[in-house]
């Protein structure tokens, strides 16, 4: 987390993320206060979707080492450390969850302003934020596994983008009711409907996927070391 938040490249990533969100907000201001309107698009929905895509990519990109950071220990580095497989795996899970939550928190003032400008209930921000954190955590955890499983930068990056495409586009092609797990659809439902049982089930499902990634990381560390330790 220190590397992602405090290093030069980490700060640049946050700046670009907030700059893109702020630019969307400025371009979408109502015409009565002197700006061109982003027509036929719900401002808050567009903002939250951009936030979802950016937070998920940044979380998984750093975790998979597609976006390299000075000071961040990748999975191959941690395999050689004294940490147990369980500690390595849970650390990667926690770093993805904390970083995703951090990205949502720093953009909260912009999200609040976006909701206020269109008279949208601020309560819609909460489920959308939880959805984003859950999805980014899941993709980030599996991204960390990719960082250890595939030593080739090209192969790792290619599979990373296949994974992102599957999550954001592939799930939209699933038959009903499975297409309801599509992240973009979940955020839209959060804005238009608010919290629902389906939202809670989807969040639980993505958190279960994150747990699966955690177990895969621990198994990879054990296999690489050739040991018999178990996830603790």
**Alpha-carbon gap, residue 95 to 103, rounded angstroms:** 12
pLDDT at 47: 85
Cβ neighbors of 197 (< 8 A, separation 6 or more) are none
**Residue whose C-alpha is closest to residue 168's, from 44, 42, 21, 56:** 56
- Tell me the average confidence (pLDDT) per consecutive run of 10 residues in the chain, 232 residues long: 82 89 73 46 79 95 86 82 90 95 92 75 83 96 93 92 95 88 92 84 95 95 70 40
pLDDT at 87: 93
Packing angle, helices 85-106 and 108-117, rounded to 10: 40
pLDDT at 68: 79
Where are the domains positioned within the chain?
A: 2-225
pLDDT at 119: 65
pLDDT at 38: 46
């Amino acid at each position: 987390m220190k590397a992602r938040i405090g290093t030069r490249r980490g700060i640049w990533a946050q700046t670009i993320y907030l700059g893109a969100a702020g630019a969307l907000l400025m371009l979408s201001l109502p015409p009565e206060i002197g700006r061109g309107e982003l027509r036929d698009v719900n401002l808050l929905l567009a903002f939250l979707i951009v936030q979802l895509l950016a937070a998920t990519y940044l979380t998984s990109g750093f975790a998979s080492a597609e976006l390299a950071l000075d000071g961040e220990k990748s999975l191959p580095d941690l395999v050689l450390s004294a940490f147990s497989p369980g500690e390595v795996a849970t650390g990667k899970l926690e770093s993805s969850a904390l970083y995703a939550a951090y990205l949502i928190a720093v953009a909260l003032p912009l999200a609040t302003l976006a909701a206020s400008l269109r008279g949208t209930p601020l309560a819609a921000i909460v489920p959308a934020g939880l959805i984003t954190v859950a999805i980014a955590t899941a993709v980030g955890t599996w991204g960390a596994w990719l960082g250890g499983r595939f030593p080739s930068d090209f192969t790792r990056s290619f599979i990373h983008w296949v994974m992102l495409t599957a999550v954001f586009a592939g799930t939209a092609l699933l038959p009903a009711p499975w297409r309801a797990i599509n992240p973009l659809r979940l955020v839209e439902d959060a804005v238009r409907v608010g919290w629902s049982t389906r939202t809670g089930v989807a969040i639980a499902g993505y958190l279960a996927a994150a747990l699966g990634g955690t177990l895969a990381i621990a198994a990879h560390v054990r296999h690489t070391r050739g040991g018999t330790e178990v996830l603790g």
